[in-house]
Amino acid sequence: MATKTTMSITELNDETVRSMSIGAVFSDFGGKINSLDFHRKDDLLVTASEDDSVRLYDIANAKLLKTTYHKKHGADCICFTHHPSSVICSSRHNLESTGEALRYLSMYDNRCLRYFKGHKERVVSLCMSPVNDSFMSGSLDHSVRIWDLRVNACQGVLRLRGRPTVAYDQQGLVFAVAMEGGAIKLFDSRSYDKGPFDTFLVGGDTAEVCDIKFSNDGKSMLLTTTNNNIYVLDAYGGEKRCGFSLEPSPNTTIEATFTPDGQYVISGSGDGTLHAWNIMMRNEVTAWNSHIGIAACLKWAPRRAMFVAASTVLTFWIPNNSKPGAEPGSTDAQAGAQSEQIGQ
């Protein structure tokens, strides 16, 4: 896996995407995995789970590196900072009594480096700027807050209707905020106080957007709604490039992800399947049984032919020719994963 999965992302094609299969399984979580994030440059993955754990993985070797528990605050939304052992994590517990909605954590020595107070209700969207120490959080208190890792105080607040969802583009120049009625507002991250410079409407769909992602080239935007519709929009003009409907999943939001080349979208579904579409051709390339029920978390690794899908179980998916046995040096976790996958 360590060598095979370094396949250049420019080599992705329909055949490679179809060949993706489970290469490693981690099933020792004590509850649902709430969120996960890849580091932009290092081969690392972090998860936040209902069992109050934050777990750090080496994705090159499918190896758990560290687990920390956060019983007081819990672990809900999570994202890496630029440092490979530091993360931002939102709280699930004791928010009313502590006000500590967000924490800046060092995984290296299991220390909280800073608390960020301001949100009155749970954070449901979290995003780190790709270029500096700014990050954004969207909360059920109907606000988006802009922060700086180096400062306790909130740097700015946007108040809006509905459940806010936030995302930076890959250059950190623009951020998008989704709000009530399927409206997507775009802001200049250096002068957001002037208000949005553009607003897109997802025509005909008034479901709340629960996730936004920009493609790496900045040309496309991926929206997932609470009723499990997925849209790819032109990030400049807002035109709908394609849309896909998936099986509903009451009380569980699903996640969709671009491949790093921006050519494919992968998504979970309410029936426990995973789907891949070719955006240019607007057709479904393949569908898989997730083997883990509804995958609420799904992300493609930034620099590898690999994605992860998670429910109460975390699965690493890699091209079929990288399966254990195809090369020396496959990990015990992978080898055990194959029998678990077949036995499910």
The domains located in the chain, with CATH, are 14-319 (2.130.10.10)
Asked whether the beta carbons of 85 and 110 are under 8 A apart, the reply is no
Instruction: Provide the pLDDT confidence category of residue 10 given band limits of 50, 70 and 90.
Output: low
Measured CA distances, 123 to 34, 77, 136, 144, 208 (Å): 12, 7, 10, 9, 15
Average pLDDT over residues 32-38: 97
Average pLDDT over residues 246-265: 94
- Residue 114 tokens read as 């800073």
Select from 125, 119, 212 the least CA-distant residue to 163: 125
Q: Helix, strand, or coil here: 78?
A: strand
> Measured in Å, how far apart are the chain's first and last C-alpha atoms?
22
| Structure confidence at residue 163 (pLDDT) | 87
| Structure confidence at residue 179 (pLDDT) | 83
pLDDT at 130 over 60: yes
Instruction: Provide the pLDDT confidence category of residue 93 given band limits of 50, 70 and 90.
Output: confident
pLDDT at 96 over 80: no
More reliable by pLDDT, 302 or 96:
302
Instruction: Provide the pLDDT confidence category of residue 231 given band limits of 50, 70 and 90.
Output: very high
| Structure confidence at residue 203 (pLDDT) | 66
Select from 138, 93, 141 the least CA-distant residue to 121: 141
Average pLDDT over residues 261-290: 96
pLDDT at 181 over 90: no
pLDDT at 321 over 80: no
Instruction: Provide the pLDDT confidence category of residue 292 given band limits of 50, 70 and 90.
Output: very high
pLDDT at 40 over 60: yes
| Structure confidence at residue 329 (pLDDT) | 31
Which residues are bridge partners to 135 per DSSP? 128, 147
Mean pLDDT of the chain: 88
Instruction: Provide the pLDDT confidence category of residue 7 given band limits of 50, 70 and 90.
Output: low
| Structure confidence at residue 221 (pLDDT) | 96
Average pLDDT over residues 265-272: 96
pLDDT at 293 over 70: yes
pTM: 0.90
Q: 10 Å Cβ neighbour count for 73? A: 22
Q: Distance between CA atoms of 188 and 294, rounded to whole angstroms? A: 35
Instruction: Provide the pLDDT confidence category of residue 220 given band limits of 50, 70 and 90.
Output: very high
| Structure confidence at residue 274 (pLDDT) | 98
The C-alpha angle 129, 53, 169, rounded to 5 degrees, equals 15
Instruction: Provide the pLDDT confidence category of residue 332 given band limits of 50, 70 and 90.
Output: very low
More reliable by pLDDT, 21 or 99:
21
**Look-up of token digits 């994963």:** 337
Burial class of residue 96, CB neighbours in 10 A (0-12, 13-18, 19+) = exposed
Average pLDDT over residues 199-208: 78
| Structure confidence at residue 2 (pLDDT) | 35
Average pLDDT over residues 137-158: 96
| Structure confidence at residue 204 (pLDDT) | 66
